[in-house]
């Protein structure tokens, strides 16, 4: 599998295309079991303090790392933000004063977010989904 194939899968697949184990933070692509996403351990989450992420009922936000691998090979890393008491996991916008997020990062968040709240929290956070450059 080529890098572009993996990137296309991450940009277009849905969570239904993945075997999900929320307890271990493991996501395995059903059509190729070599493609895997691993969420970092909870003790490695970092506090995240930007207004778009902390303006919810529960203001604590945490940066969470996700590593994509194909077999044992590293492919890429994504940092997302868990907001409102872990009710949603969102991509980080371009800048603190530029709240645009790329559609492929939003799709990645939808793959790894447990529950169907990404779109709702994008709106609540003031994030604007744009096509990738």
pLDDT digits (tens, 9 = 90+) for 48-93: 999 999 999 999 999 999 999 999 999 999 999 999 989 999 999 9
What's the average model confidence in pLDDT over 2-28? Answer: 96
- Cα distance between residue 61 and residue 93, in whole Å: 14
Provide the percentage of residues in the chain whose pLDDT is more than 70. 99
Domain ranges of the chain: 3-130
Categorize the per-residue pLDDT at 133 as very low, low, confident or very high, splitting at 50, 70 and 90: low
């Amino acid at each position: 599998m080529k890098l572009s194939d993996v990137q296309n899968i991450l940009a277009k697949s849905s969570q239904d295309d993945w075997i999900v184990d929320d307890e271990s933070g493991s996501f395995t692509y059903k059509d190729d079991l070599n493609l895997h996403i691993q969420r970092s351990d909870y003790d490695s989450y970092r506090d995240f303090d930007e207004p778009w992420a902390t303006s919810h009922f529960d203001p604590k936000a945490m940066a969470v790392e996700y590593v994509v691998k194909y077999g044992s090979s590293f492919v890429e890393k994504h940092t997302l933000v868990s907001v409102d008491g872990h009710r949603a996991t969102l991509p980080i916008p371009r800048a603190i004063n530029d709240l645009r997020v790329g559609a492929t990062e939003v799709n990645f968040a939808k793959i790894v977010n447990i529950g169907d709240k990404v779109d709702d929290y994008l709106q609540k956070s003031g994030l604007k989904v744009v096509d990738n450059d």
